[in-house]
Amino acid sequence: MALWGGRFTEGTAETVFALSRSVHFDWRLAPYDLRSSLAHLLTLETSGLIEKSDAAAIRGALKELSVQVQSGAFVASDGDEDVHSALERGLNEKLGVLGGALRAGRSRNDQVTTDLRLFSIDHMLEIARQITLLQIAILEKAGEYVNDSAPGFTHIQHAQPVSFGHELAKHAQAFARDLDRINDWLARTSVSSLGAGALAGSSLPLDPEATANELGFNSVFANSIDAVSDRDYVAEALFIFALIGVHLSRIGEEWSLWASTEFAWAKVSDAYSTGSSIMPQKKNPDMAELARGKSGRLIGNLVSVLTMLKALPFAYNRDLQEDKEPLFDSIDTLLLVLPAVTGMIATTDFDRDKMALAAPLGYSLATEIADYLVVKKIPFAQAHEAAGKCVALCEVDGRQLHQLTDVELTGVHPALDAGVRSVLTVHGALNSRTTHGGTAPVLVAEQINVALKNNSASMAQITSAQARFSEMMSA
Ligand code: ARG
């Protein structure tokens, strides 16, 4: 069903309808469209524009339609252009001409962006919940390895030994920032656009503030032209999703490396691995690779919407219909990837001995020698030079730093006495890294506790926001 046509003498060309049609992807806005229609109905009723008895009939039909949409008893048909026209057809089938009464003072322009805001908020909350679950998996896994050492890397070269719990827990910090961003986004997105009309507001006695309140928005638009053209919340959501994708891809890369035969640190569980159709021995970390690979489409969806918005004239232009598929795709992608990565992390075991043996390799304790000399008041540049000489000596015959003789050590620098041996152990190196946020196991344990506490607070906040949202939806 079309929502226009009075001034047209010719029917729409088939190609035009095909290109115009969005109901095959915007149908998922139906529950939000029905809910915002109830709010709009209330404003029309309160202002006396619709008789109480008519309003009751429309309200009953909207609620019935909601149930039918949910059960699948009412679906869009081939002739429906978009979700709004499909639902108005549904109302007309129940109410006859009265079904068209809701269009007073409302345009699809303010309607569609109101629906999309509600949809986005609902799904953003679910993504936030999935992120807190992922954080728990990361932090609990990190907690198992606080006292296990492993090489820490820069340039994928052994740099300094670290607590493997520290190595894992770092990911929880990235996701904490994502949750922060989501919170900021929620505050900025909670603005109702309903009442902006096509672009100029309305001559009818509507009450946009009451409608906003009814739909659980924190505030109402300030400028009706901006209200129908603003898709910042879509672009911002897509940026948040793209960055979450990037964070997931970095986990994916690590897991793939650590599961390789060369590293052999990670044993990814069977449930989160896949096999090869030709090589019977293969067990591949495909979830890690998909987490890495999916970041491409998450970034692509952001670029797609920003490009669509660039230089777009204000108020409504049909280009804006292109906001939905990228947004839906990013949300669907994350809701698939997040639980899979959470499960993969929770069920991976690490080879503690192998990581501990690797920790001092690659002269990763050389900084300890330099720091030892600094404590003895040797300027760092000289200390660095001396530690470098120790490495050079070891490289000649493939020894480790602690295997240098006392004579060799004092030969490199007179202040390098045998006392240095006490810091030339991985254990000593880890325990000495006690500055704020460092890798000393006591600090790592504390860091994990604080992160878990913040996580519980986020979880409680998300749960209550989700409860408020579903209460609003079921009104
Ligand atoms: N399907 C349209 C969209 O998604 C709804 C708004 C149509 N508005 C219009 N003036 N043609 O953007």
User: pLDDT for 403-446, tens place per residue?
Assistant: 999 999 999 999 999 999 988 999 999 998 999 999 999 999 99
- Compute the distance between CA of residue 405 and CA of residue 422 in angstroms, rounded to an integer: 14
**For residue 191, what are the β-bridge partners?**
219
Cβ-Cβ contacts under 8 Å for 270 (sequence gap 6 or more): 283
Q: How many CA atoms lie within 13 A of 22 on its CB side?
A: 20
Cβ atoms of 204 and 102 closer than 8 Å: no
Q: Is residue 203 over pLDDT 90?
A: yes
pLDDT in tens, 350-383: 999 999 999 999 899 999 999 999 999 999 999 9
Could you tell me how many residues make up the chain?
475
Say if residues 194 and 114 touch (Cβ distance below 8 Å): yes
Q: Answer whether residue 397 shows pLDDT above 80.
A: yes
Q: Is the pLDDT of residue 244 over 90?
A: yes
pLDDT at 284: 85
Atom of ligand 1 nearest to the CA of 26: 4
Q: Which residue has the tokens 């906003």?
A: 212
pLDDT score at 302: 98
- Atom number in ligand 1 closest to CA 82: 1
| Closest ligand 1 atom, residue 320 Cα | 12
400 conformational bin, left if phi > 0, alpha if psi -120 to 50, beta if neither: beta
Q: Which atom belonging to ligand 1 lies closest to the Cα atom of 324?
A: 4
Q: Establish whether residue 109 lines the binding site of ligand 1, counting it when its CB lies within 6 angstroms of any ligand atom.
A: yes
pLDDT tens by residue, 86-97 = 999 999 999 999
Distance of CA 253 to the CA centre of its chain: 18
35 pocket-lining for ligand 1 (C-beta < 6 Å): no
Q: What is the average pLDDT across 329-347?
A: 97
CA dist., res. 433 & res. 423, Å (int): 11
**Phi, psi values for residue 159, rounded to 5°:** -115, -70
Report the greatest alpha carbon distance in the chain: 102
pLDDT reading at 329 higher than 80: yes
Q: What is the pLDDT of residue 220?
A: 98
Residue nearest to atom 4 of ligand 1 (CA): 321
pLDDT computed for residue 5 by the predictor: 81
For the ranges 210-219, 273-282, 284-293, the one whose mean pLDDT is highest: 210-219
Is residue 315 within 8 Å of residue 225, measured between CB atoms?
Answer: yes
Alpha carbon nearest to ligand 1 atom 7, residue: 108
Question: In the predicted model, is pLDDT for residue 280 greater than 90?
Answer: no
For residue 51, count other CB atoms closer than 10 A to its CB.
11
Q: Which of 112, 312, 323 to mutate to test the pocket of ligand 1 (most atoms within 8 A of CB)?
A: 112
pLDDT for 8 = 86
pLDDT value at residue 265: 97
The pLDDT of 175-202, averaged and rounded, is 97
pTM (2 d.p.): 0.94
What is the 139 CA–ligand 1 centroid distance (Å)? Answer: 45
Asked if 139 contacts 172 with a C-beta cutoff of 8 angstroms, the reply is yes
Please give the pLDDT value at position 12: 86
> What average pLDDT does this structure show over 231-257?
98
Contact 340, 269 (CB under 8 A): no
Residue of minimum CA distance from atom 2 in ligand 1: 321
Q: For residue 276, what pLDDT is reported?
A: 80
In this prediction, residue 271 has a pLDDT band, given cuts at 50, 70 and 90, of confident
CB contact at 8 A, 380 and 181: no
pLDDT tens digits for 23-81? 999 999 999 999 999 999 999 999 999 999 999 999 999 999 999 999 999 999 999 99
| pLDDT of the residue at 213 | 98
CA–centroid distance, 203 to ligand 1, in Å, is 22
Predicted confidence (pLDDT) at residue 1 exceeds the cutoff of 80: no
Distance from residue 194's CA to the centre of ligand 1 (Å): 14
Q: Which amino acid is at 234?
A: V
For the stretch 82-128, pLDDT in tens is 999 999 999 999 999 999 999 999 999 999 999 999 999 999 999 99
Binned at pLDDT 50, 70 and 90, residue 282 comes out as confident
Residue 2 has pLDDT above 80, yes or no: no
- 89: closest CA among 69, 104, 71, 106? 69
Summary mean pLDDT of the chain: 96
**CA torsion, ordered 107, 113, 115, 121, to nearest 10 deg:** -160
Pocket test for ligand 1, best of 32, 113, 318, 323 (most atoms within 8 A of CB): 318
Average pLDDT over residues 298-318: 97
